[in-house]
Amino acid sequence: MQAFDAGNPPFDRLSHEELDELRASLDIGYFKPGELILARGRPSELLHVVIKGAVEGRDGDALQTVLGPRDSFDSRAVVHGAAGEDFVAAEETLCYLIPKPVLLRLIARNPAFAAFFYSEISRKLDSFARSRLAEEGVETVLRARVRDARFAGAVFTDGSETIESAGHRMRAANVNALFVRDGDRTGVVTGMNLSKALVLRRLGLETLVREVCHFDLVAVAPDDFIYDALLLMTRHNKRRLAVRDEAGACLGFLEDIDILGLFAGNSQLIPGRIDRAQRLEDLALVARDIGAQVERLHRQGIRVDVIAEITSDLNRRFYARLFEMTAPDSIRGTGCLLLMGSEGRGEQTVRTDQDNGLLLAEPVPEPDLAAFREAFSGALDSFGFPPCPGNVMVRNPAWSQPVDGFARQLRAWIHERSPDAALNIAIFFDAIAVAGRADLLVRAKAEMISLMRGEAVLIARFAHLIESFVTPSLGPIASLMVSVGVGSDEIDLKRAGTFPIVHGVRAMAIERGITADSTAARIEALTAANTLEPDFARELLSALRVFMEFRLRAQLEAARRGTMDHESLLRPARLTSADRDILRDALRIVRQFRALLRSRFNLGAF
């Protein structure tokens, strides 16, 4: 069976010897239209891989998926003893047939291949993330330019200054090296130079900088390659190089840790850049660094939930610093800066639109508030953060006001009971405090939950938002529409997958008075409260991470195209068969969760 496609995942994870063993065991099966190939709940002694034709996956009368060439079914029936659906030939179909004993031997020997057959989609996703070849390896980093390394800017001192003064200057600028001007000479003094002068040489604090600095600068240009910089560091035994432009002006120092950041990622370096930011232009560079960090981590095969956690931590520090730089004293002392939406839940990776607000302990002068609204939101605009379509921004007075007024606004939304009001409540429930008076947020959230808890009809209306969008099957209708040129087989991952999970869990959390911030923490709390079964809770969280992973891929692709208009759209036809299998599992779990929510909140009554 040499025609068997060894490049089709997960079979591409087999060695040459394992492929030979697999090919030697293959048979071919023919199935006529309408023939039941495998019944739901039944075990199977064969794994089927479609060669030609189409196979429908059905749950009773409901069509769940359509499998085509290179797709396989049903791993659950072979490995776990029960098919998840009925599999029926939709037309004349040919399949490769892989015997169960052969499959189990390969699974036992090859962990990467075995991951495809895990029952939990989270384990599948982890394995496929790890097996994804990094697009950005050592060779790519070495071909990067010096300017890509985000080196620190130049800070100068004079050779006639004392080493005490130089130490204070380093601390004020949060750097560990200064350029030294001394007549026609330019040198460098480092924190280590100062330490050695004081401790080893026992020099006094009044010692002049020119007596402890070095004038043997080794320099690179911003457009030089990183490998050139590494060669210079090795040749001259230097940990840092001066960066000079074409005119010879000193732009800063490139340090070994800056180059390390290109290899390992910049998450450990970005907080320092945030803290050192003195101007909005400095924060604009940090915002770009955070975006580049997301893509770098993804290329390195880091799990999407870990990427989201790292990115959220960096974004929160970023927003806190922007608040410090733009808020007048009257607001810094009485205000609480909020992040909401996916940023609030700690689930955002690639930045989308702004979701932020401000609570005040008491009214502040209107000119101060107006100036802050424009300065804060305007800065984010200039950094490339798109405005929120729903206007959930500090710039909007409804989302930046004293806490007493906002509490009245919450009560109005709760009593209004419209879809828009429910969406505003949902957005606020995800809020976290990133700067200022966190107690104001605690107070506002406590009042909201006290108003909603025990109000079964109100919470049911709130939960009904999940019916705003349909969770699709990977069925034939979309593919047929594509074939005749009147539609597309795109899935909106946010509407079909992420939103039903996030909002359904949110509604259940409000019902139980749970105030955890992230969806994962809410699922954990609901499980502890016996509201969700532990096994289903794990699968629900796994499904959420599947959608986050696929959406991140779509977002990065959209960013490379230069437009984020369709950043949440996925075309299943472009996925590998293994990825389609993961997506089918995730969509199945969402449909089960929607059914649970419909029953729990009696959504059919609306």
Top pLDDT among 454 and 446 is at 446
Cα dihedral 18→22→23→28 (10° resolution):
-170
Residue 483's pLDDT band, with cuts at 50, 70 and 90, is very low
Q: What is the pLDDT of residues 276-320, one digit of tens each?
A: 888 899 899 889 888 888 887 887 777 888 888 888 888 999 999
Domains along the chain with CATH numbers: 11-117 (2.60.120.10), 138-276 (3.10.580.10), 305-452 (3.30.460.10), 468-605 (1.20.120)
> Which residue stretches of 26-120 are H helix?
75, 100-109, 111-114
Residue 112's pLDDT is 77
With bands split at pLDDT 50, 70 and 90, how would you rate the model's confidence at 477? Answer: very low
End-to-end CA gap in the chain:
56
Q: Which of 3-12, 140-149, 372-381, 489-498 has the highest mean pLDDT?
A: 372-381
Alpha helix (H) residue ranges in 327-358: 329-332, 341-345
The percentage of residues in the chain with a pLDDT greater than 70, rounded to a whole number, is 90
**DSSP H/E element including 365:** none
- Please, which residues bridge with residue 358 across strands? 337, 400
According to DSSP, the β-strands at 93-99 and 152-153 are unpaired
In angstroms, the Cα distances linking 548 to 18, 264, 458, 498, 542 are 33, 23, 29, 7, 10
Span 191-248, pLDDT tens digits: 999 999 999 999 999 999 999 999 989 999 998 888 788 878 877 878 899 999 989 9
Output the average pLDDT for the chain. Answer: 86
Write the pLDDT tens digit of every residue in 84-102.
889 999 999 999 999 999 9
- pLDDT tier at 486, thresholds 50, 70, 90: very low
Is the pLDDT at 438 greater than 50? The verdict is yes
φ, ψ of residue 328 to 5 degrees: the values are -70, 170
The pLDDT > 90 percentage for the chain reads 50
Distance of CA 594 to the CA centre of its chain: 24
pLDDT in tens, 164-207: 999 999 998 888 899 999 999 999 999 999 999 999 999 999 99
Residue 431: what pLDDT? 96
Q: Which residues contact 515 (CB under 8 A, 6 or more apart)?
A: 445, 449, 509
pLDDT at 575: 80
What is the model's pLDDT at position 470? 66
pLDDT in tens, 267-278: 566 777 888 888
pLDDT tens figures, 563-587: 766 778 888 777 877 788 788 888 8
Binning pLDDT at 50, 70 and 90, where does residue 120 land? low
Cα–Cα separations (whole angstroms), residue 377 to 95, 218, 552:
58, 42, 25
Q: How confident is the model at residue 485 (pLDDT cuts 50, 70, 90)?
A: very low
Q: How many CA atoms lie within 13 A of 201 on its CB side?
A: 13
